[in-house]
Amino acid sequence: MTIIDRTTVAEHDFNTLTLVDCRNVMDDLTGSVDKVAEFPVAGTVHIPQYPWMFDREGLNRGRHPIPVKSVVKTLHEALSKSSMQMPVLFDGEQQFFHTRLYYLFRLYGLDALLWNDSLEQLNMLTASVGGTIPELPEADFTRTGDYTDVEVGLLVLMEDVKRAIQDEDVLLIDVRSRPRYLGIEEPIDLKMGHIPGAVNIPYGNFFRGGRINFGACNHMRHFLDSYKEIIVYCGSGMSATPPFLVLGEMGLPVRLYGGSFSEWITDDENSIESGDAPLNERILSLNE
């Protein structure tokens, strides 16, 4: 992964980059437009969530299905202007829409860069950006592609998770808030709790000063190294992408459960646990 921030920006020619504004409000088109308008960044193209970050008919069920290859590739081609430009994805503080899109590009073998610094810092640089702002394609094209198109080392499906919960060498990490993990509250989904055996490392633990903290889990290295595979999930596969990137940068064998908890609960045969998993006591002690 290539991260750009104020310390590495001099290594890149901004005239060869397409600045991609991924700021959104979850499932709220009007709110997303208003959010971008509050602090516009010049010379950028804004990407709405649907259909580019999730699509109604995708690779999985749940609230935000992963789009098939034709959707993601069509967007990437528009942003890269026939391979002449490199997309740079950015978002606001402690957000995940840019990491979701970055993950989708990687999932289908497409290149992009990730901005991990403040919007103010980025706005200072946009005056040097040349070229025209790309236009987004219409979203009514025919969808093509399936699970065989993805980098399988990055994604797991529900059936994979069903097998994983029986394997003590696989660690499931739930990155939702602690009350949602424990089954105390659930503001979105129809059932409460977590996938059996999953531990909880809340989403906010992976950030510092509003930006992704790629050293967030270094103190847990020995513990995480003891597993042959790590699967991260959230409510719908969106907010699990920053934790996925952090663990991946550590060189750990991590994959994302695309459907996440909102898909898991669609199968009544899937068990759900509430309260703390026994292993989570160790997680809590490591984070004290």
CA distance 141 to 147: 19
Q: Do residue 121 and residue 176 come from a single domain?
A: no
At 157 the pLDDT is 96
CA distance 231 to 212: 19
- Contact 189/271 with Cβ under 8 angstroms? no
Max CA-CA distance within the chain?
A: 56
pLDDT tens figures, 30-79: 999 999 999 999 889 999 999 999 998 899 999 999 999 999 999 999 99
CA distance 56 to 66: 9
Q: Provide the 10 A C-beta neighbour count for residue 136.
A: 15
**Residue 228, domain extent:** 155-286
Q: Do residue 115 and residue 160 come from a single domain?
A: no
Can you say how many angstroms the Cα of residue 76 is from the centroid of all Cα atoms in its chain? 17
Residue 273 maps to which CATH number? 3.40.250.10
Number of domains comprising the chain: 2
Residue that terminates a domain, selected from 128, 148, 168: 148
Q: Do residue 52 and residue 171 come from a single domain?
A: no
Burial 215-225 (b: 16+ CB within 10 A, else e): ebbeebeebbe
Q: What's the pTM value of the predicted model, to 2 decimals? A: 0.95
Q: Tens-digit pLDDT profile for the chain (288 aa)?
A: 688 888 888 887 777 889 999 999 999 999 999 999 999 998 899 999 999 999 988 999 999 999 999 999 999 999 998 567 899 999 999 999 999 999 999 999 999 999 999 999 888 877 655 567 888 998 888 999 999 999 989 999 999 999 999 999 999 999 999 999 999 999 999 999 999 999 999 999 999 999 999 999 999 999 999 999 999 999 999 999 999 999 999 999 999 999 999 999 999 999 999 999 888 877 877 776
Q: Do residue 96 and residue 34 come from a single domain?
A: yes
